[in-house]
Amino acid sequence: MPRRYGVFYVSFPYEGYIRVIFSGYKVRSVAFCKSKPKTPQEDRHPRLLENSLRQYFKGRKVSFSSFSLDWNQGTVFQGKVWKRARCIPYGKTRTYRQIAEAVGKPHAARAVGNALNANPFLILVPCHRVVSKGGLGGFKPGLSLKRALLRLEGSKTLFDT
C-alpha cells in the first residue's frame, strides 16, 4: 500500500484554522494557524478526522482516542505526558502536578508544562485541559484560545475570567 501524506484545514471559529498533517494512517501534527496557504497542499485526508474536528468545534462531545498518532516525534518523557493528557475527559481539567504524578515524576510539573508546549497534536492531545493550581497556566497558541476551548467543552473551571 502506498504511503499517503496529506494536509487539511478545518475552520476554527475563534482564530483561524486547524491544520492537520498526516502520513499513512497516523496523525503527525495538529496545530492552530491564522490562515490557509494560498496554494493548497496535497488534498487527500481522512474524512472521519475532519468530521470529528468539525463536530468538536460545534460544541459536541467528541473522542479522538481512536485516531492513531505518530508518537515518535518527542522524547520518551514527552510521549508519556502527551499520552496521559490524552486521557483527560472532555470538559474536565487536570493540573500540571497531577500529570507529573501520573507519569511517575511528582516534582516535574514544570517539565510537564514544557512537554505540553511541544505537543504536536493540539485538540487530539488536549493540552488545553491541563491547568496550573492557581490559574490557567500556559498554552502555546495563547490563553484566550485555551479559555475558548475550555468554555466550548463546558469545563467547570475557576479560571474563566
Same domain, residue pair 97 and 33: no
Confidence band, pLDDT 50/70/90 cuts, at residue 4: low
Amino acid at 80: K
CA 159 to CA 73: how far, in whole Å?
31
H or E element at residue 26? strand 26-33
pLDDT score, position 1:
40
User: Which three cell numbers mark 126?
Assistant: 488536549
pTM for the full model? 0.76
How many other CB atoms are found less than 10 A from the CB of residue 91? 14
- What are the pLDDT digits (tens) for 92-138? 999 999 999 999 999 999 999 999 999 988 899 999 999 998 889 99
Is 87 a residue of the active site?
Answer: no
Indicate whether 64 belongs to any domain. no
Indicate whether 78 belongs to any domain. yes
Residue 156: DSSP 8-state: -
HSE of 117 in the Cβ direction (CA atoms, 13 Å)? 11
Tally the domains of the chain.
Answer: 2
Indicate whether 120 belongs to any domain. yes
Contact predicate 87/127, CB 8 Å: no
pLDDT at 159 over 60: no
Residue partners of 51: CB distance under 8 A and separation at least 6:
none
- What are the pLDDT digits (tens) for 7-37? 666 665 666 777 777 666 677 777 777 666 5
Same domain, residue pair 104 and 140: yes
Indicate whether 91 belongs to any domain. yes
Same domain, residue pair 28 and 93: no
Q: Give the CATH number, domain containing residue 111.
A: 1.10.10.10
User: What domain range is 94 assigned to?
Assistant: 74-152
Same domain, residue pair 46 and 84: no
CA 115 to CA 137: how far, in whole Å?
13
Catalytic residue from among 127, 136, 150, 152: 127
